[in-house]
Amino acid sequence: MATTTKSAWVTMEDAKTSINLFCCVLGIGSLAMPSNYARAGPVYATIALAFMMFANTYAAIKLSRAMLAAPSSVKTYGDLGEWALGKWGRFFSVVSQMGVCILVPIAFLILGSTLLDVLFPDCFSQTFWIIFMALMVIPVCLIPTLKESAGMAFAGCMGTAIADVIAVAILQYNMRGHPSIPKPDVSAHQVLTCFGNLAVAYGAAIVIPDLQREHSQPHRMPRVLMVTIVLISAFFFAIALAGYLAGGCQISGNILYSIVDTSNPLGTAPLGFTPSRAAVVMSY
């Protein structure tokens, strides 16, 4: 008599892959989530967030299934592009990947230099901090696989998540007792800007081929991707709504810039309160 074995809904390897993907996606884009609500209001910003969540989930699942259908020689994003669309497919895949690899570090370095300038005011210029950070991360760029860099990805993810939570807590605490939050004057430009911020926040596609190649049961990846992106989106929504409810349309493009004046780190914050220096240091 034949017996059928039911595979587990989630395995330890699924969990590790999900955590790795979560850590790769959850980054500085989350710091701009409250500003989306500040620009476009809760209705349009929520619609934009939901659209980007479904679009990225759909694209990630389709990418994973394409990897499953591709021959074993297809291992990278460029390989997949060539398998699907020939040489031009590889060209556009590699160019888009290079664009991400160039633009995202620029955003990180600019943000990092601002953070260090707040933590150590009047020490060095932002240019110095940018060069210093770039030199410090060169060894990280030489790590060949995602598995070997999982620890650093986790540290970066947790650092961003903690910064989000502390920044929102600072806003909620210092803005308590204030009148009702001011509503934004919504325009098409502000709504479209939300999609730009969300495009930075969602960056799963570039790491999916590597994660799927390293998974011993790649057919499980579509489910892993769907669950992980939904969890990331839930975190984005919570941070965005909590920040917006504290400051309304007064929230800056980066929530960290709302809790401290970057030009005068020891002075009054842009929203008119004097934050705890210890809390600011922890978030930064």
- What does the block give as tokens for 11? 């395995």
Entry pTM: 0.83
Query: How many Å is the Cα radius of gyration of the chain?
Result: 21
pLDDT value of position 113:
86
Each residue's pLDDT expressed in tens, for the chain with a length of 284 residues: 444 445 677 778 788 888 888 887 887 788 888 888 888 888 999 999 999 999 988 988 888 888 888 888 888 878 888 888 889 988 998 888 888 778 878 888 888 888 888 888 888 888 899 999 889 888 877 776 666 666 777 777 888 889 899 999 998 888 887 777 778 888 888 888 888 888 878 877 777 887 888 777 888 888 888 999 999 999 999 999 988 888 888 887 788 888 888 888 888 888 888 888 888 888 88
**Cα(256)–Cα(164) distance, integer angstroms:** 8
242 phi/psi in degrees, rounded to 5: -65, -40
CA angle 256, 233, 98 (to 5 degrees): 75
